[in-house]
Amino acid sequence: MTDALRRWNRHTPREALQEVLPCCGSRTWAAELVKRRPLADRATLLAASDEIWQNLTASDWLEAFRSHPRIGESRPSQTASAQSAAWSSQEQQKVADANDAVKIALADANRVYEDRFGYIFIVCASGKSGPEILEILQRRLHNDKNAELHEAAEQQRQITQIRLNRWLSE
């Protein structure tokens, strides 16, 4: 068991919720994870996270999406915690290094995406360049609304797993 997990298992429910919430952004997900304490190890935590995520409602997923800045923007959403904003910045580092043409194309495609689907584009950006993300965004614009919601939810699940692992390693 990591030190972070040992400490988190001993927190009050409120403290535990606040500490883990930046990993996902859904209060329901965080509350359900807190209810499962004590969690014995990393594998148990990650499995519980996935199980909870898969059983959430679309509104819970959308809440998690709102905790992210748009791809290519450094400004976090108003609901994002400082920790979530810092992780987003790390995750989007390669996008920040993209040339101006890619950044403009991403901003334009983000607007089209939001108009089409009603929420920001969510992608697990870790390790992906600006042009790679732009290609993914353009491809996903062809999804129907239901397929895209599930694709975005899967991307959020991957982001959550990465963030949980970072949190456990701090």
Query: Coil, helix or strand for 115?
Result: helix
- d(CA 49, CA 51) in angstroms, rounded, equals 6
10-25 pLDDT tens trace: 999 999 999 999 999 9
Give 30's contacts (C-beta < 8 A, 6+ positions apart): 17, 20, 21, 23, 24
- d(CA 109, CA 146) in angstroms, rounded, equals 19
54-84 pLDDT tens trace: 999 999 999 999 998 888 765 555 555 676 5
92-143 pLDDT tens trace: 655 667 789 998 999 999 999 999 999 999 999 988 999 999 999 999 999 9
Residue-range domains of the chain with CATH:
3-169 (1.10.3330.10)
- Residues designated as active site: 68
Single out the residue of 77, 71, 79, 59 nearest to residue 113, CA to CA.
71
- d(CA 1, CA 101) in angstroms, rounded, equals 46
- d(CA 33, CA 29) in angstroms, rounded, equals 6
